[in-house]
Amino acid sequence: MRAARDLGMQSVPAFVMDVQSDEEMIELSLIENIQREDLNPIDEANGYQTLM
């Protein structure tokens, strides 16, 4: 939020999700991170390991 404020932004686009469990939160986080192009293989493997 501070970066947005420093840039003079009045609002910040965001998706608000109703997450029911820690497991679901980890799963959604992993999906989002895997979709990033700059995720290295070690971080991707660590994410999968966390799900197991």
- pLDDT at site 13: 92
What predicted TM-score, i.e. pTM, was given to this entire model? Answer: 0.53
For 35-47, the pLDDT digits (tens) are: 877 778 898 888 7
For 3-22, the pLDDT digits (tens) are: 999 999 999 999 898 999 98
Query: Which of helix, strand or coil describes residue 13?
Result: coil
- pLDDT at site 11: 92
Q: Is 8 left (phi over 0), alpha (psi -120 to 50) or beta?
A: left
Does residue 51 register a pLDDT over 80? no
